[in-house]
């Protein structure tokens, strides 16, 4: 009797060890690119030439990071990616906040203030999620020209808001479907109007879906390259475009350590957002998806 | 507090008629209950009174004012929802004072009003909690508190007790009745529970398929149902419906029934008159409530409305205060309510008496009242 319990326990322990070993391997495999990038970015050029891709650095140097930030050449100018990093913030913050807010408003209307044809309206809006970036480039360039927003940060923000709204509307609409409509009825009887109900009743319930939406939009807008390269002027380019320019403008030697450091700088904000709010992301997604 | 008048209100969803011309009116301070099976239109009617849904035609007057085209907030009503619909992000205090805040009532008055309502409903100790920290019964009280916080003309209750467990439901039912007696407010209350309807209402409107089947006091509805639907819906256990043939013996109208032992009995009708002439020899439906078929009560058995018969007990179900005995008449099951002391075990013969004074007759085709 106790023998069988013992063997059983041992079998469980062995399978546990095997499981964790496999998981550990998988983690290593997925982390490998990041490790290579980090290691390369702190090596000196001599170090890179001497060793192989995953060899340990001879000494840890932050020179490449400093150069990438402030003095690496991106095309003709040699001022690093620092200023473009701030450009990206100037583009991303308003684009994310405005598109998320509009998505919340759309979702509120499409679920709690339904009008004739509102479901068709939502269906058509969903098309926006399936349209590839490339399709909208030409018409959007023309529109921005008419609006006098060509090659400006405002113009690029506008493009991101329009393109992002389909997704944010989808998120909020699906979340608000599960918010009981009786809440809105009760507020109407209490005398509250359209915006009062939105501010006082609906928005305070929306934290999880706001987190999801902000993470999603932040990642999309920050990582965007195509809209950035097409619609922004030289000084207002986002960091993704600058990174591309930095990697492509070589002056004789290919400085892998600087390239890697610049890439890390470009990826840092999205990494931070995920680390800080990642658990809300999963929670919020399921909160929207599962009714009740 | 105010009167409520609903005149020929209709509501269509596309081609589906949900309300087919409703006429109801109640006086100041009356408790109106809309009762009916699900899908009968009672909630739609309630939402139309509240202004949450527009009516297709007809008028609604509250306190003499035509409110048909007005928004909910301009109708001066308060509503308690089935799901309570408490604002999750606000405390109980916030929930109760929200409507006052929207209506720009000064802070001092608001606080006084919250205190008054909280005292009335005994929820003062809960004022700083969020709805998620309350039990079902507490949430129900808060929902009522929110409605009571203003002094609207009419209170609307949409199945407010249906999410509570059985015991709490009975308690809250009594509380609502007490509250109404104290505040003398006009209340419209939707329920599908006929006991709630009987116990609470001054007037009941029994609804089915978007029409009011009968509108009257609880006792009228119970004793004098307009048709088979109302008779069957109100009362638990339900009224017995017995298909039998109308006969006339020596100018006395009555019905003959046959027990499972092939014994024939004649049940004389109390109020039979010549209007029943054309039904002699035809099948009619006798409606008789279980409490009118009892064991033989000595001091009653000599009354003229009483008939006696012996039948075999098929099933006996004790409920405590009395026992429900199932017998067979004309091949149909009939519920009788007897005193537990007089109860006979299943399979044995038992003597019953029927009080025919409250018996009713229905047309088997139209299901309308004949007598």
Q: What is the pLDDT of residues B222-258, one digit of tens each?
A: 999 999 999 999 988 899 999 999 988 888 888 888 8
**B151 touching A (Cβ < 8 Å):** no
Q: Residues near A290 by Cβ (< 8 Å), separated by ≥ 6? A: none
For position A292, what pLDDT does the model report? 34
Least confident of A114-118, B20-24, B272-276: B272-276
For position A290, what pLDDT does the model report? 42
Residue B166 has pLDDT above 50, yes or no: yes
Please tell me chain B's helix, strand, coil percentages from 3-state DSSP, rounded to the nearest 5: 30, 35, 35
Average pLDDT, chain B: 91
Cβ <8 Å between B50 and A201 = no
For position B290, what pLDDT does the model report? 94
**A185 touching B (Cβ < 8 Å):** yes
| Cα separation, A71 vs A138, whole angstroms | 34
Task: Identify which of A186, A200, A205 has the shortest CB distance to residue B81.
Answer: A186
For position A129, what pLDDT does the model report? 87
Task: Identify which of B71, B85, B98 has the shortest CB distance to residue A180.
Answer: B85
Cβ <8 Å between A186 and B87 = yes
| C-alpha closest to that of A185 among B77, B69, B1 | B77
CATH code linked to domain A82-289: 1.10.3720.10
| Cα separation, B55 vs B100, whole angstroms | 28
CA distances from A223 to A94, A219, A273, B352 (A): 15, 6, 13, 87
For position A280, what pLDDT does the model report? 73
CA dihedral (B104, B107, B110, B115) in degrees, to 10, reads: 170
Return the top range by mean pLDDT from A5-9, A26-30, A230-234. A26-30
Does residue B133 have a cis peptide bond before it, meaning omega lies within 30 degrees of 0?
Answer: no
For position B45, what pLDDT does the model report? 94
For position A20, what pLDDT does the model report? 95
Task: Identify the bridge partners of residue B350 per DSSP, sorted by sequence position.
Answer: B311
Residue A170 has pLDDT above 80, yes or no: yes
Compute the count of residue pairs across chains A and B with CB atoms less than 8 Å apart. 58
Which residue spans of chain B are classified as CATH 3.40.50.300?
4-233
| Residues 61-80 of chain A whose Cβ lies under 8 A from any Cβ of chain B | none
Q: Residues near B101 by Cβ (< 8 Å), separated by ≥ 6? A: B110
For position A77, what pLDDT does the model report? 79
Cβ <8 Å between B72 and A189 = yes
Nearest-Cα residue of chain A relative to residue B86: A183
ipTM of the complex: 0.84
Residue B142 has pLDDT above 50, yes or no: yes
Task: Identify the bridge partners of residue B248 per DSSP, sorted by sequence position.
Answer: B253
The tokens for B90 are 């606000």
Alpha helices in chain A (DSSP H): 2-41, 45-50, 63-70, 82-112, 118-130, 133-147, 153-177, 181-189, 194-197, 207-223, 226-231, 239-248, 256-289
Residue whose structure tokens are 């024939």: B264
Task: Identify which of A190, A192, A205 has the shortest CB distance to residue B88.
Answer: A205
**Torsions phi, psi for B24 (to 5 deg):** -145, 150
The arithmetic mean of pLDDT across residues A156-167, rounded, is 93
For position A151, what pLDDT does the model report? 87
Task: Identify which of A188, A191, A201 has the shortest CB distance to residue B87.
Answer: A201
Which residue spans of chain A are classified as CATH 1.10.3720.10?
82-289
Pairing type for strands B4-13 and B332-338 reads unpaired
For residue A127, name the pLDDT band (cuts at 50, 70, 90). confident
For residue A286, name the pLDDT band (cuts at 50, 70, 90). low
For position A4, what pLDDT does the model report? 67
Residue A54 has pLDDT above 90, yes or no: no
The arithmetic mean of pLDDT across residues B141-153, rounded, is 90
- Counting every residue, how long is chain B? 371
User: To probe the interface with A, which of B74, B81, B85, B156 has the most A CB atoms within 10 Å?
Assistant: B85
Please name the CATH architecture into which domain B240-362 falls: Beta Barrel (2.40)
Nearest-Cα residue of chain A relative to residue B156: A189
Least confident of A243-247, A284-288, B88-92: A284-288
**B190 touching A (Cβ < 8 Å):** no
For position A287, what pLDDT does the model report? 53
Q: C-alpha A258: how far from its chain's center?
A: 23
For residue A285, name the pLDDT band (cuts at 50, 70, 90). low
Predicted confidence (pLDDT) per residue in B76-135, tens digit: 999 999 999 999 999 999 999 999 999 999 999 999 999 999 998 899 999 999 998 999
The DSSP secondary structure of A211-280, one letter per residue, reads: HHHHHHHHHHHHH--HHHHHH--GGG--HHHHHHHHHH--BSB--HHHHHHHHHHHHHHHHHHHHHHHHH
Average pLDDT, chain A: 87
**A190 touching B (Cβ < 8 Å):** yes
Residue whose structure tokens are 């609903």: B6
Task: Identify which of B47, B79, B103 has the shortest CB distance to residue A186.
Answer: B79
Domain B4-233 has CATH 3.40.50.1950: no
Query: What's the pTM?
Result: 0.82
């Amino acid at each position: 009797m106790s023998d069988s319990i013992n063997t059983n326990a041992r079998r469980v322990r062995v399978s546990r060890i095997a499981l964790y070993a496999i998981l550990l391997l998988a983690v290593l495999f997925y982390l490998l690119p990041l490790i290579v990038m980090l290691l390369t970015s702190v090596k000196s050029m001599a170090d890179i030439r001497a060793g192989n891709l995953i060899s340990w650095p001879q000494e840890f140097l932050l020179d490449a990071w400093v150069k990438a930030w402030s003095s690496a050449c991106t095309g003709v100018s040699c001022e690093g990616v620092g200023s473009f990093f701030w450009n990206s913030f100037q583009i991303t913050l308003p684009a994310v906040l405005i598109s998320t807010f509009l998505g919340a408003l759309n979702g509120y209307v499409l679920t709690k203030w339904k009008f004739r044809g509102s479901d068709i309206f939502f269906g058509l809006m969903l098309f926006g999620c399936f349209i590839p970036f490339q399709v909208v480039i030409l018409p959007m360039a023309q529109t921005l020209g008419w609006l006098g927003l060509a090659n400006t940060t405002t113009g690029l923000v506008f493009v991101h808001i329009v393109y992002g709204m389909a997704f944010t509307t989808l998120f909020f609409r699906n979340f608000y479907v599960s918010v009981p409509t009786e809440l809105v009825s009760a507020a109407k009887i209490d005398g509250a109007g359209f915006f009062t109900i939105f501010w006082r009743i609906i928005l305070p319930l929306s934290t999880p879906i706001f987190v999801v939406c902000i993470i999603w939009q932040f990642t999309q807008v920050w990582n965007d390259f195509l809209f950035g390269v097409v619609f922004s002027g030289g000084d207002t380019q986002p960091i993704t475009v600058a990174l591309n320019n930095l990697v492509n403008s070589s002056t004789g030697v290919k400085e892998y350590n600087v390239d890697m450091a610049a890439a890390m700088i470009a990826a840092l904000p999205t990494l931070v957002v995920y680390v800080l709010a990642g658990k809300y992301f999963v929670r919020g997604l399921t909160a929207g998806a599962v009714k009740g | 507090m105010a009167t409520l008048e609903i005149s020929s209100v209709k509501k269509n969803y596309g081609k589906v008629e949900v309300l087919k011309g409703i006429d109801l009116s109640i006086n100041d301070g009356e408790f109106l209950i809309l009762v009916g099976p699900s899908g009968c239109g009672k909630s739609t009617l309630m939402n139309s009174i509240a202004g949450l849904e527009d009516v297709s035609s007809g008028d609604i007057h509250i306190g003499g004012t035509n409110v048909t085209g007005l928004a909910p907030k301009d109708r001066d009503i308060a509503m308690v929802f089935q799901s309570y619909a408490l604002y999750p992000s606000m405390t109980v205090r916030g929930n109760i004072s929200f409507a006052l805040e929207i209506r720009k009532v000064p802070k001092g008055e608001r606080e006084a009003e919250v205190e008054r309502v909280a005292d009335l409903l005994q929820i003062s100790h809960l004022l700083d909690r969020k709805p998620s920290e309350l039990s079902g019964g507490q949430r129900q009280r808060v929902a009522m508190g929110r409605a009571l916080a203003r002094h609207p003309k009419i209170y609307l209750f949409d199945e407010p007790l249906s999410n509570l467990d059985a015991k709490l439901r009975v308690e809250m039912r009594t509380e609502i009745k007490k509250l109404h007696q104290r505040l003398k407010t006009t209340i419209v209350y939707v329920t599908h529970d006929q006991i709630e309807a009987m116990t609470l209402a001054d007037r009941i409107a029994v609804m089915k398929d978007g029409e009011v089947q009968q509108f009257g006091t609880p006792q009228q509805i119970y004793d004098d149902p307009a048709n088979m639907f109302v008779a069957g819906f109100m009362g638990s256990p339900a009224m017995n419906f017995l298909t039998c043939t109308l006969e006339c013996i020596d100018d006395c109208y009555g019905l003959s029934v046959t027990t499972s032992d092939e014994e024939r009995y004649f049940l004389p009708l109390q109020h039979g008159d010549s209007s029943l002439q054309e039904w002699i020899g035809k099948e009619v439906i006798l409606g008789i409530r279980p409490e009118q078929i009892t064991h033989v009560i000595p001091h009653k058995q000599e009354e003229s409305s009483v008939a006696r018969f012996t039948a075999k007990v098929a099933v006996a179900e004790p409920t405590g205060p009395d026992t429900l005995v199932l017998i067979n008449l004309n091949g149909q099951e009939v519920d009788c309510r007897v005193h537990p002391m007089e109860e006979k075990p299943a399979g044995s013969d038992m003597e019953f008496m029927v009080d025919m004074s409250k018996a009713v007759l229905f047309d088997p085709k139209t299901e309308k009242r004949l007598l």
